């Protein structure tokens, strides 16, 4: 609809036209009314006052954190180290445009770790109530894992498994089931392989009242948390596949349980990973959280997570707690504590306070 000022402007135009041509015939008046209707329709398509288009939605997140980390090395001669900082840690801006029915475009810009990137940009065909089949093509977070968390820090399962790649994914989705398969070109290739589309992912999710369950398979786990610095150049003989299992439960919108497991299905051979120490490794990670929403604004949660064969970049065991409070609408203040124990017997204590807004 055109706003009141827009309608007033149209009326003024009409009056001026009438004063300028008092002898307008009935046909002329009908033509004028038709022109005004077209103008009003065009303004309505552009949104109120001719502003933001009604078919485009905007969302975003801004996070500022203050943190303190103390690391206690296992070596007796090594001193404890302290780190602290206050910084803008994340800015995420998402645009979703409904082009026509069955066609949607999405773009997500992400500022994180002092780096600004297009985190996602893809086109979706289908995915409607009367068209449950869909195609997603572009750069996206692949359907491998859920990674739901009530904490400030990402769970170790996300650190190991989340995969963002250019891909084509086809699937079927309704209110209860989402099944998909996709193909992509892995950045980390097997030794001697050409640069081709050589990897795939498959996922299934079931959503029931108060519970969601899912499982997924990816043909190369190295595309997740591992990166090119973790893989010794030109040593990967075979892609190592991985799998993901998760469950998310809510009770009376007060109690929440999150459980997830990510693991390699085969081993990386000695010498393939930069941190393997000459051993064959089979990385895996798990996360378990309990959360309680005392009020609409106040929530507290506990976490226990761990990993195996993750080197020194993921703790073997980690546990802690977080409390978050909505100080204003869409504005949250949270404080988190985590204690981590690593494979080399180092220990780490981290306290983080975060102020976040969503829109």
CATH number at residue 257: 2.40.160.10
Do 115 and 34 lie in one domain? The reply is no
Do 344 and 208 lie in one domain? The reply is yes
Digit-coded pLDDT (tens) for 277-297? 889 999 999 999 999 999 999
Do 165 and 304 lie in one domain? The reply is yes
Domain hosting 26: range is 1-53
Do 218 and 307 lie in one domain? The reply is yes
Please answer whether residues 163 and 142 qualify as being in contact, where contact means their C-beta atoms are separated by less than 8 angstroms. Answer: yes
Task: Report the DSSP beta bridge partners of residue 57.
Answer: 96
Do 325 and 205 lie in one domain? The reply is yes
Do 3 and 98 lie in one domain? The reply is no
Lowest-confidence pick of 9-23, 105-119, 140-154, 186-200: 9-23
Do 35 and 127 lie in one domain? The reply is no
Token representation of residue 342: 């690593």
Do 35 and 101 lie in one domain? The reply is no
pTM of the model: 0.84
User: Residue 19: helix, strand or coil by DSSP?
Assistant: helix
The answer on pLDDT for 70 being more than 50 is yes
Lowest-confidence pick of 10-19, 107-116, 185-194: 10-19
Which of the listed ranges 11-25, 42-56, 319-333 does the model predict with the highest average pLDDT?
319-333
Do 35 and 63 lie in one domain? The reply is no
Do 214 and 177 lie in one domain? The reply is yes
How many angstroms separate the Cα of 20 from the Cα of each of 13, 17, 23, 26? 11, 5, 9, 16
Dihedral pair phi/psi, residue 223, rounded to 5°? -75, -10
Do 191 and 114 lie in one domain? The reply is yes
Do 30 and 84 lie in one domain? The reply is no
How many angstroms separate the Cα of 281 from the Cα of each of 155, 272, 276? 21, 9, 7
Domains in the chain, number: 2
Digit-coded pLDDT (tens) for 87-102? 999 999 999 999 999 9
């Amino acid at each position: 609809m055109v706003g009141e000022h827009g309608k007033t402007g149209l009326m003024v135009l009409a009056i001026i036209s009438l004063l300028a041509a008092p002898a307008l015939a009935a046909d002329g008046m009908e033509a004028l009314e038709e022109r005004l209707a077209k103008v009003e329709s065009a303004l309505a398509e552009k949104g109120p006052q001719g502003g933001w288009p009604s078919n485009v939605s905007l969302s975003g997140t801004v996070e500022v954190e203050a943190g303190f980390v103390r690391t206690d090395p296992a070596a007796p001669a090594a001193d404890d180290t302290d780190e602290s900082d206050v910084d803008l840690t994340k800015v995420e801006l998402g645009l979703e445009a409904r082009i026509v029915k069955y066609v949607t475009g999405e773009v997500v810009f992400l500022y994180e770790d002092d780096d600004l990137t297009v985190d996602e940009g893809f086109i979706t065909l289908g995915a409607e109530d009367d068209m449950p089949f869909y195609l997603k093509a572009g750069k996206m977070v692949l359907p491998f894992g859920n990674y739901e968390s009530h904490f400030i820090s990402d769970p170790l399962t996300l650190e190991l498994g989340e995969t963002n790649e250019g891909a084509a994914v086809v699937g079927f989705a309704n209110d209860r089931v989402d099944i998909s398969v996709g193909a992509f070109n892995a950045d980390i290739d097997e030794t001697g392989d050409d640069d081709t589309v050589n990897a795939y992912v498959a996922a299934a999710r079931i959503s029931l009242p108060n519970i969601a369950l899912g499982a997924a398979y990816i043909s190369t786990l190295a595309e997740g948390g591992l990166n090119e610095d973790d893989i010794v150049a030109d040593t990967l003989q075979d892609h190592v596949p991985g799998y993901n299992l998760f469950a998310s439960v809510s009770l009376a919108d007060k109690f929440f349980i999150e459980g997830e497991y990510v693991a390699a299905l085969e081993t990386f051979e000695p010498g393939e990973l930069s941190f393997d120490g000459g051993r064959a490794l089979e990385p895996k990670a798990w996360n378990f959280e309990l959360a309680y929403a005392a009020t609409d604004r106040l929530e507290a949660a506990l976490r226990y997570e761990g990993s195996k064969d993750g080197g020194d970049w993921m703790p073997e065991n980690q546990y802690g707690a977080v409390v978050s409070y909505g100080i204003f609408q869409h504005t949250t203040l949270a404080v988190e504590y985590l204690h981590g124990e690593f494979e080399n017997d180092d220990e780490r204590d981290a306290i983080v306070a975060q102020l976040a807004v969503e829109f």
